[in-house]
Each structure stands twice: as C-alpha cells, then as structure tokens.
Amino acid sequence: MKIIKIVGLLLLVVGIVFALIKKDSITKVFQNNTEHTHINKMVGDKDEKETVKPFYQGEVVNVEQGGGYTFIEIKEKTEITFWIVVEKADVKVGDYVQFQKELVAHNFESKSLNKTFEELMFATNLQYKVSE
C-alpha cells in the first residue's frame, strides 16, 4: 500500500512540474509576439499578455487565382485598398469578407501571376459573404 501512495505522489509531482514547464513555454511564445497584444486574464497569470489577432474586413474589389492561392484586393470602409492572399477560395467581387492577418510581405513577387505586390498580407480564417 505504501508503494502505491509513493507512486501516486511521484506521478502528482511529475504532473505539476510538466504543467509548470508548459505554462512557461506558452508565456515565452506570447512575450515574443507582441503585435496586437491585449491584457487578458489567464488562470494563474493575471498579469500575462496574450496575443489576440483582430479580424480585418472589407469588400472584395478584385480577385486573382494563381498557384493554389487566391489573391484578393480588399476595400475598407475608409476607401483604402490592399491585397491579401489566402489558400484557394471561392470569393467573388462584391463579397464582403472578414479575415485575420498572419504576416505582411513587401515587394512580394508572385510567379504564378507574374506580378509584384508592393504589400501583400498573408491571411487566414477567411469568411466571406459576411454582413457588414
């Protein structure tokens, strides 16, 4: 019976150490990515910063397909336009879309379109035909 208690206690200690190591790794990831950070309360870490990616949105004004990707020109309510690229999507001019920014490339050359984009946003979580 003592051996079972010792093994149980040992497993508990290993579990706690593992949880602390994982928590420390997650905290380092959040500290290294400071873009769009907001203070969020996490269990046990009331003062930690967590990266929250905002959603961007706008109307599709141009669509080009190439190399398994969809290049979309977006017009925001401010009338500013910019290009994003996502995995192949069935988006049409006039659709209203919403997406999250992953990174921005400058002077990006698309060989499949034979075109260079002054600025191109790589985006994920594309949702289209969303109401304004």
SS (H, E, C) the chain: CHHHHHHHHHHHHHHHHHHHHHHHHHHHHHHHCCCCEEECCECCECCCEEECCCEEEEEEEEEEEECCEEEEEEECCCCCEEEEEEECCCCCCCCEEEEEEEEEEEEEEECCCCEEEEEEEEEEEEEECCCC
- Global pTM value: 0.60
- 88 and 44 within one domain: no
Domain range for 119:
55-128
- 69 and 40 within one domain: no
pLDDT at 27: 38
CATH number of the domain within which 112 lies: 2.40.50.140
- 83 and 45 within one domain: no
pLDDT at 130: 60
Full pLDDT tens readout for the chain, 132 residues? 666 555 455 555 555 544 545 444 433 333 343 333 332 333 344 444 556 788 899 999 999 999 999 999 999 999 999 999 999 999 999 999 999 999 999 999 999 999 999 999 999 999 977 655
- 75 and 45 within one domain: no
- 120 and 72 within one domain: yes
Number of domains in the chain: 2
Domain finish residue from 12, 35, 50: 50
- 40 and 65 within one domain: no
